Amino acid sequence: MDFHEYKPKETVSPQRIALRGQSLLASPRFNKGTAFTRSERASFGLEGRLPYAVNSLEEQCDRAWEQIQTRTTDISKNTFLQSLKEQNWALYYALLSRHLRALVPIIYTPTEADAIANYSHIFRRSEGLFLTLPNEDKMEELFLEATRGRDIDLFVVTDAEAILGIGDQGVGGIWISTAKSVIYSLIGGLDPNRSVSVVLDVGTNNEDLLNDPLYLGWRERRVRGDIYDRFVDKFVQLIRKHFPHSLLHFEDFGIDNAHRLLQKYRDTHAVFNDDIQGTGAVTLACILAAIRISSHSTEHKPRLSDQRFVVFGAGSAGMGITVQLRDAMVTTDGISRQEANKCFWLIDKEGLLIDGNGGSDVNMRLRSEFYRTDEGWNQRPSGIVTLLDVIHRVHPTVLIGTSTRAGAFTEEVVRAMVDGLEPDQRPIILPLSNPSRLSEARPEDILNWTEGRALVATGSPFGTVKVNIGGKEREFVIAECNNALIYPGLGFGAILSHSRCVTDTMLVAGANRLAELSPLLGEVGEGEAQNGAGILPDIDIAAGINFEVGIAVAEQAVREGSAAVDLRIEEVRAKAEAKVWVPIYSEYIYDETGMKD
């Protein structure tokens, strides 16, 4: 599935443009470069400003692809693409869409982390909105200046405290906001001119940045408490006041603030946190697909709450996944929160979480809901209940790894899990830590140890692996449990429906749609698994997948009354097709009163 099948070029209306000459060539939103037609060159004063030949967008992509291949490092490729984005949006996004698997790791994780860490040294051109604590009194003025004359669908904001596994990056965090905005346009179909990337510069505790004479941010230690809350709230209220139907995406906030801010605002505006909800939603989709396959021989339709989940790693990722799965059980299975909590066994560096007092921070309070109080857990001499101990006693159906402890899912652990299941039941094993060197187990090992029975997805790309089963070599596609398969669609659906808030039922609807598109389920019906296929679709078709996710989310918003626009369910798909943005050139007509950049 590709966006181009939803919106062919002939459906894109001509645009009336007021820019001419160099001003038009300098506008990344409108610039076509060598693709300006003969008539456009004459109308817009471009003759003599461009080489004679007229290229198609496809030819321009071929040239740009040749150019990027001459770059020898990922960071130099990242810099090249950033420069291309500053020149020509359509070409930039068209190039990315044609080489998605190769270039997403360059413009996003892992390469973007290196760019962010060196932001103040490789800075060339400003992009996004910088709201800094010393300018708090002028925040509304700065906000309105950046958004004047624009219809904004999406705000992506970070305070840069927890960037991509590299921690506090101060003002450099603006590039995680811009990268996330790019993914929304590239894979989610949102018009890049209708999104704003924001960094809330509230200082930094990164000593290297504080001591760097070239650091571009506010050179003070990170503020906390009431001052911080007042600053963030002022920003959120500006969005609610001026763009009440927009989506506010929180990105890479510290774990305490991430959970707290999501809970504070989720009932009053459409807010979303990818680190919590996106990670949880894509894992939920993976598990929904897997349990339908694993339990296809049972007489009743499998439920999430029928599963026994062991989560190895109770940090931010593990907790985000656990909470999302728990909330989905409450929503779909109709059980209480307390009942759903009992389906989970969480293990951290101190072993199984038992009889905790909850602590004072948000993460500890979240964890405390899942502490096991069952009699006998705390009777081991060492006081630590290991992963293997839990496997032997619980007989989990799902094992999730978010620990960054390479090799933690040993052969003994995996075989013990299989031994605890019914003969026709397939273990669901998700070593999600990334990068691949930190994965809890290699997928080919898991498949070898389980004789191909395991349903496996990973947090990093492993591609296709070969496994010898019963003396015969078989190939298995290892699904990547990648947020990009779902969060742009979740956002697109919320924006499409003008949702008042992003509800748990909307997230579950999106996850269910992604699960239905599992290659393992195939076209012949649930349970008729295609041997060797991945649990989730390939990242190469993420655009079409997210389009379907977005429709499911918008339909659910209409169904439950969360939508703030007059829309019938049967109208959602047509509206989505009209709304989706694709990187193609439209015809330009010169008009002095037309659009300006």
* pLDDT tens, position by position, 257-275: 998 999 999 999 999 999 8
Can you give the pLDDT at residue 414? 98
Burial of 70 (0-12, 13-18, 19+ CB in 10 A): exposed
Q: Could you tell me the pLDDT band of residue 524, with boundaries at 50, 70 and 90?
A: very low
Can you give the pLDDT at residue 375? 65
Higher pLDDT, 6 or 70: 70
Complete DSSP assignment for 445-465: HHHHHTTT--EEEESS---EE
Burial of 93 (0-12, 13-18, 19+ CB in 10 A): buried
Is 140 annotated in a binding site? The answer is no
In angstroms, the CA 178 to CA 123 distance is 14
Can you give the pLDDT at residue 531? 58
In angstroms, the CA 560 to CA 526 distance is 27
Query: How much of the chain, in percent, has pLDDT values that exceed 90?
Result: 79
Burial of 376 (0-12, 13-18, 19+ CB in 10 A): exposed
Is 275 annotated in a binding site? The answer is yes
Where would I find the beta strands (DSSP E) of 525-591? 588-590
Residue keyed to tokens 């001026």: 242
pLDDT, tens digit, for every residue of 21-39? Answer: 999 999 999 999 999 999 9
User: With contact defined as beta carbons under 8 Å apart, do 181 and 112 qualify?
Assistant: no
Q: Could you tell me the pLDDT band of residue 529, with boundaries at 50, 70 and 90?
A: very low
Can you give the pLDDT at residue 469? 87
Q: Could you tell me the pLDDT band of residue 357, with boundaries at 50, 70 and 90?
A: very low
Mode of pairing for the β-strands spanning 464-469 and 472-477: antiparallel
For residue 541, which of 569, 508, 521, 517 has the smallest C-alpha distance? 517
Enter the pTM of the model.
0.92
Residue keyed to tokens 């060539």: 25
Share the mean pLDDT of the chain.
91
Query: How much of the chain, in percent, has pLDDT values that exceed 70?
Result: 92
Range from 82-86, 104-108, 109-113, 194-198 carrying the lowest mean pLDDT = 109-113
pLDDT, tens digit, for every residue of 483-515? Answer: 999 999 999 999 999 999 999 999 999 999 999
Can you give the pLDDT at residue 379? 60
Higher pLDDT, 382 or 256: 256
Active site residues: 108, 180
Is 252 annotated in a binding site? The answer is yes
Mode of pairing for the β-strands spanning 351-352 and 344-348: antiparallel
Count H helices and E strands in the chain, helices first: 25, 16
Can you give the pLDDT at residue 460? 87
Q: Could you tell me the pLDDT band of residue 219, with boundaries at 50, 70 and 90?
A: very high
Give the mean model confidence (pLDDT) for residues 392-405: 95
Is 523 annotated in a binding site? The answer is no
Can you give the pLDDT at residue 299? 56
In angstroms, the CA 428 to CA 286 distance is 10
In angstroms, the CA 96 to CA 90 distance is 10
Q: Domains of the chain, with CATH numbers?
A: 1-103 (1.20.1370.30), 108-273 (3.40.50.10380), 278-579 (3.40.50.720)
Question: Residue by residue, what is the 3-state secondary structure of 425-446?
Answer: CCCEEEECCCCHHHCCCCHHHH
Can you give the pLDDT at residue 594? 76
Q: Could you tell me the pLDDT band of residue 367, with boundaries at 50, 70 and 90?
A: confident
pLDDT, tens digit, for every residue of 445-458? Answer: 999 999 999 999 99
Is 229 annotated in a binding site? The answer is no
User: With contact defined as beta carbons under 8 Å apart, do 553 and 497 qualify?
Assistant: yes
User: Residue 10 above 70 pLDDT?
Assistant: no
For residue 94, which of 47, 129, 59 has the smallest C-alpha distance? 59
